[in-house]
Amino acid sequence: MPTISQRAQNMPPSPVRKLVPYALEAKKRGIKVYHLNIGQPDIETPQSALDAVKENDLKIFEYALSEGNIEYRSALKNYYHTLGFTDLTTDNFIVTNGGSEALNFALSTLCDADDEVIIPEPYYANYNGFASTFNVKVVAVTSTIETGFALPPVEEFEKKITPKTKAILICNPGNPTGYLYTREELQKLADMALKYDIVIISDEVYREYVYDGKQQISMFDFPEIAENCIIIDSESKRYSMCGVRIGCLITRSKKIHDAAMLFAQARLSPVLLGQIAAAAAHVNDSDYILKVRAEYTHRRNVLVDLLNGIPGVICPKPKGAFYCAVELPVDDTDKFAQWLLEHYSHNKETVMVAPMSGFYSDPELGRKQVRIAYVLKEEDLRRSVELLNDALQKYKIEFKL
């Protein structure tokens, strides 16, 4: 038998996808599964993007440029100019196969084996996987549900900084919590970056989906850290086109850009058709974004109110993205989530949630929490909460909680 690498053996499973086999088995038994576990929106991709793929007149699907084709990078430049970052040129962008590859490029560029990246937790679970791939150590700074997952005090970060620290990685607005960082919080991170000469990696893929009249503040709003900042972006959630796998790494630092380009060249190129779709989506997109934001705002309000109406459930109202971090009155949400798929149904229906043990460096911190994505229409969200409420009551009886 071949030997499996330690890297593979140490790779953490995705808390979002590890329950997929149980969901597939449930569906084989004729059970309808409401997918609250994954950020796959049911909102249609812009028609302009669909048409651009269907109606292109290409005769060869050739390699794209390693940094991304100029047509798409020009669309990105124009988009960022509308955000106020008019100093950016097409040379500041490296197009990637999804935001995931952009994060991999960032870690590859900044970190050697055994280096450290500080991340406020709970955090997007795949950050663990990306770091593990490169033998980079995740150093967590814990936020709590009691504060709505606000950024911990700056002193908590400074306690964790060592000579091995290369970056602080944030997601703003956050996955899995929907937390939106304030300008004051981000200023403190910028000050730390300069004080310790480390890089802030800011994952801003949910930038458009911020609610209650708030506005996302980008790390690009702090020009003093031009040499110490990487932005991660993606079209997946902005335009409901997760499958096109198009994202980008953006930096004002030529040193970081040129180093990241070596990794971009090594993987050859980003997806050609994805760039064509994404470039088309950016044309006259403001109406689309406004409509989708209004829909997510409504879904959030419906879901959070219903969840907080269940006895023992705690759900802070998220300020952005389309996720809720929810505390449930159960002993173990990993066990509960699997039980929902293996043993529970009501009228041949059940729900799938993402246990949050995998969103923390210490799984015990998330043992009673799940992430729920409000990417389904209102009718399905209401039914999902009905099922969850019923399941919690039956689970308590079955396991004598």
Q: What is the pLDDT, as a whole number, of residue 400?
A: 84
Is 186 domain-assigned? yes
Phi first, then psi, for residue 276 (nearest 5°) are: -60, -45
Q: Which residues contact 31 (CB under 8 A, 6 or more apart)?
A: 345, 348, 349, 350
CATH code, domain carrying 367: 3.90.1150.10
Same domain membership, residue 329 and residue 300: yes
**Structural domain ending residue among the three candidates 229, 247, 281:** 281
Helix, strand, coil % in the chain, rounded to nearest 5: 45, 15, 40
Q: What is the pLDDT, as a whole number, of residue 8?
A: 86
Q: What is the DSSP string of 313-375?
A: -B-PPPSBTTEEEEE-SSS-HHHHHHHHHHT--BTTEEEE-EEGGGGSSSGGGGTTEEEEE--
Q: Which of 11-15, 75-79, 141-145, 232-236 has the least mean pLDDT?
A: 11-15
In terms of residue numbers, what domain contains 20?
A: 6-44+287-398
Same domain membership, residue 60 and residue 138: yes
CATH code, domain carrying 101: 3.40.640.10
Same domain membership, residue 79 and residue 12: no
How many Cα atoms are found within 13 Å in the side-chain-facing hemisphere of 31? 22
**What angle in degrees, to the nearest 10, is found between the helix axes of 98-110 and 254-266?**
120
Q: What is the dihedral of CA 214, 215, 216, 218, to 10 degrees?
A: -140
Same domain membership, residue 294 and residue 277: no
Q: What is the pLDDT, as a whole number, of residue 25?
A: 97
N- to C-terminal Cα separation, the chain? 45
Is pLDDT above 90 for 221?
yes
**H helix runs in 16-111, sequence order:** 20-28, 47-54, 70-82, 98-110
Q: Parallel, antiparallel, or unpaired for β 116-121 and 32-35?
A: unpaired
Number of independent structural domains in the chain = 2
pLDDT band, residue 374 (cuts 50/70/90): very high
Same domain membership, residue 362 and residue 339: yes
- Average per-residue pLDDT for the chain: 96
Rounded CA separation 54/37 (Å): 31
Same domain membership, residue 107 and residue 26: no
Question: What type of residue sits at position 158?
Answer: E
Tell me the pTM.
0.95
Find out whether 250 and 230 touch, Cβ atoms under 8 Å.
yes
Q: What is the pLDDT, as a whole number, of residue 392?
A: 98
Is 1 domain-assigned? no
Find out whether 202 and 219 touch, Cβ atoms under 8 Å.
yes
Q: What is the pLDDT, as a whole number, of residue 386?
A: 98
Residue range 162-187: mean pLDDT, rounded:
97
Same domain membership, residue 194 and residue 130: yes
Q: Which residues contact 361 (CB under 8 A, 6 or more apart)?
A: 121, 128, 138, 139, 140
Find out whether 308 and 315 touch, Cβ atoms under 8 Å.
yes
Same domain membership, residue 20 and residue 162: no
Is pLDDT above 80 for 141?
yes
Q: What is the pLDDT, as a whole number, of residue 154?
A: 86
Is 355 domain-assigned? yes
Residue range 206-210: mean pLDDT, rounded:
97
